[in-house]
Amino acid sequence: MPTSERYPHLKVTDPEVYGLIQRQTALEGSTLKMIASENYASFSVLEATGSSLTNKYCEGYPAARYYEGNEVMDEIENLAIARLKALFTAEHANVQPCSGSPANQAVYRAIMTPGDKVMGIPVSEGGHLTHGWKVNFSGRDYVQIPFGPSQETGLLDYDQIREIARRERPRMIWCGTTAYPRTIEYDKFAEIAQEVEAYLVADIAHISGLVAAGVHPNPVPYCDIVSSTTHKMMRGPRSGFILSRENDRYQEKYYPESKFNLAKRIDRAVFPGLQGGPHMNVIAAMAVAFGEAATPAFKEYAQQVVKNARHLGECLKNGGIRLACGGTDTHMLLLDFRNETFTGKEVAEALGRAGIIANFNMVPGDTRKPFITSGVRMGTPGLTSMGMKESDMEKVGEWILRVVHALPDSAATEKAVRGEIAEFCKGFKIPGLDD
């Protein structure tokens, strides 16, 4: 359906909002979506998200609701849970968190008490706000024991992580990042966590689609808990989920008097601990996305995402751009401009004006402030969803190099590249927009 024929009611009742949606749709159809945490949801996911399920209130869990009339809602939530558990071979799943941060907050509530130590990678080194960063609840309510990749290589040093864990004896260890493009070795993390009797939690918000497709190792066999969003590599709605073991291997140490196992404590942390009624329209869309992720086509897609990222990385390296970690094993590239006079923010803004949408980001060893940075983070999920292959990455790489090499006087280059990209995008189908 052409975008001009969508939202016929909204077009009449609120032309202002309708116009803004049309503008964003046009922007996404004429630029390169390269923010690593963004993607295109299928039209089926969008339909479910915008369905009449928005109208139903169903506080509680299947077969244990606080409102009547939830027979169908129970089937929807159970379907989403079953599909999710099958994707990751998990014992337990909760699909009610509204997003990744609320999911992570529920993890803390289920296994931590205020003042406990949590090992996590700081935001400045590639971690997430909820992994103990000082301005977040996780850094205010708990004590972050930081670890991170080497400033020289950009890679995780598991011997160093073990030394820190032995010394600090944290109650929880996060093995997850938002800006680490290499494979995470969950088996090594598991050995470390078991040695110090710490809960091991993987945040796979960025790579859940790669894991589901078998392109990245599955953390579920090694971790006590796994959390994620669904709107990145998974191509689902904006939401979150939590996977876990049923039983707590540290029950006697940390919760000897509790009558609830680990799965039950997680469920109680989400509801009634942090949230009220779940968003059933979104949970239905999650079920759709999980179903799509179980198909051979999605596996091929995930494989192509990694191929594209690696090929683009090589193109950029050959053009003189330094990559943190030396390259990528995933969907993500982290461009390192520590040795340049221009900043990561200046690069990201120039690329944005040229139609290449990425974000400025700190890199290991960065001495610039978080709102300036020395790096740019970008990914290939959105481009791959449009149908792009390695040959297309060569064109994308050429555009990136042209803009970067033209700095600081890049205005003319930006304008020329912007026009070329808009024309280039006409040759591809935008999922959820051109369906």
pLDDT digits (tens, 9 = 90+) for 216-254: 999 999 999 999 999 999 999 999 999 999 999 999 999
Amino acid sitting at position 122: P
Q: Read off φ and ψ for residue 319, nearest 5 degrees.
A: -90, 5
pLDDT (tens digit, 9 = 90+) per residue, 313-326? 999 999 999 999 99
* Backbone CA torsion sign across 152, 158, 159, 162: positive
State the CB neighbour count (10 A cutoff) for residue 235: 24
**Which token pair is 28?**
């996404």
Q: Does residue 41 contact residue 231 with C-beta atoms inside 8 Å?
A: yes
What pLDDT, on a 0 to 100 scale, did the predictor assign at position 214? 96
Q: What is the mean pLDDT of residues 346-367?
A: 96
Instruction: Give the integer Cα–Cα distance in Å for 223 and 221.
Output: 6
pLDDT classification of 1: cutoffs 50, 70, 90: low
Please list the active-site residues.
57, 59, 203, 229, 232, 238
pLDDT classification of 2: cutoffs 50, 70, 90: low
pLDDT (tens digit, 9 = 90+) per residue, 369-410? 999 999 999 999 999 999 999 999 999 999 999 999 999 999
Torsion of CA 384, 387, 393, 394, to 10 degrees: 170
Q: Does residue 108 contact residue 136 with C-beta atoms inside 8 Å?
A: no
Instruction: Give the integer Cα–Cα distance in Å for 38 and 178.
Output: 12
Instruction: Give residue 135's Cα distance to chain centre.
Output: 20
**3-state DSSP call for residue 279?**
coil
Instruction: Give the integer Cα–Cα distance in Å for 399 and 352.
Output: 12
